[in-house]
Amino acid sequence: MPTQANSLSGKVALVAGATRGAGRGTAVALGEAGATVYCTGRTTRQRRSEYDRPETIEQTAELVEAAGGKAIAVAVDHLQPAQVQALVARIEAEQGRLDVLVNDIWGGEKLIEWNTPVWEHDLAGGLRMLRLAVDTHLITSHFALALLHRRPGGLVVEMTDGTAQYNADNYRLSVFYDLAKASAIRLAFAQSRELAPHGCSAVALTPGWLRSEMMLDNFGVTEATWRDAAAKSPHFAAISESPRFVGRAVAALAGDPQVQRRSGGSFSSGGLAREYGFTDVDGSQPDCWRYMVEVQDAGRPADATGYR
């Protein structure tokens, strides 16, 4: 097992934005470690969000249970303060504690206009993207941290795209997207300062090239056949990772009694795998962000030798 079974037994986690992608992978990985996981999102078996995709929070909860955890699926729009407040009140009433908050809410893929300057990018779409990426996280932290900070050892994970170092050196192909992903990193840093007196921590975490449900669909492959995407994207086929990999990074952080030494920092799934020893579902340890700099961005042909 990538993490010790029941290493998070008795711990309560909220994965905000657990419908699909990194959020689903994280919820399942926390379940692997024995945690009780509240899985939130807008798409249920009764109602779809504007994404209009089939994944639901109930499916995520079933995967968490199958992995060994306890799951509670709760439909929440994290832009609605009253809904988030009610969610946290429910967690407090049912569990009396919150140990891990994963702010994974996003929902902006369909709003991005890549390589489009700010004066040409749809303004409403760009501002909506920022609301989804920043306002949701702030609203959730506002209510959830009031519960989490009561016990030393609490952890907040701000899920983003790119490490602080990579994003500082690279324009992320859209002003709005660039700001959205940089904001999560700074939010982790700011929260780490506010949580420190309470013995709690906050970090920013990025997956690598994620084999999310949407990405697999884009390449016309499945989780079982993802290597067949090499003809369309050789780098994706070389270095991509399952959503469970970044989830296992969260589980490793949550189970680290010395996690406070990392508080305020920016980390990647691949980097933490080298330190904690967990693996992806295929037993590998893809180090995407080092690969991006040294192979893809350097113009070298796709070759994951030494990177997974």
Q: Please pick, among 38, 177, 291, 307, the residue that the annotation labels catalytic.
A: 177
Q: How many CA atoms lie within 13 A of 203 on its CB side?
A: 24
Q: Which percentage of the chain shows pLDDT scores above 90?
A: 96
β-strand partners of 41: 75
pLDDT score recorded for residue 3: 54
Q: Whole-angstrom Cα distance, residue 75 to residue 149? A: 24
Q: What is the pLDDT of residues 159-192, one digit of tens each?
A: 999 999 999 999 999 999 999 999 999 999 999 9
pLDDT confidence bin for 252, thresholds 50/70/90: very high
Does residue 18 surpass a pLDDT of 90? Answer: yes
* Cβ contact 192:263 at 8 Å: yes
Helix or strand (DSSP H, E) at 83: helix 81-95
pLDDT confidence bin for 49, thresholds 50/70/90: confident
Catalytic residue flag (residue 307): no
pTM of the model: 0.96
pLDDT score recorded for residue 2: 46
Instruction: Read off the pLDDT of each residue in 89-110 and give the average, rounded to a whole number.
Output: 96
Instruction: Read off the pLDDT of each residue in 75-82 and give the average, rounded to a whole number.
Output: 98
**Domains of the chain as residue ranges with CATH:** 12-296 (3.40.50.720)
Q: What is the pLDDT of residues 203-217, one digit of tens each?
A: 999 999 999 999 999
pLDDT confidence bin for 140, thresholds 50/70/90: very high
pLDDT score recorded for residue 121: 96
When the pLDDT of each residue in the chain is averaged and rounded to a whole number, the result is 96
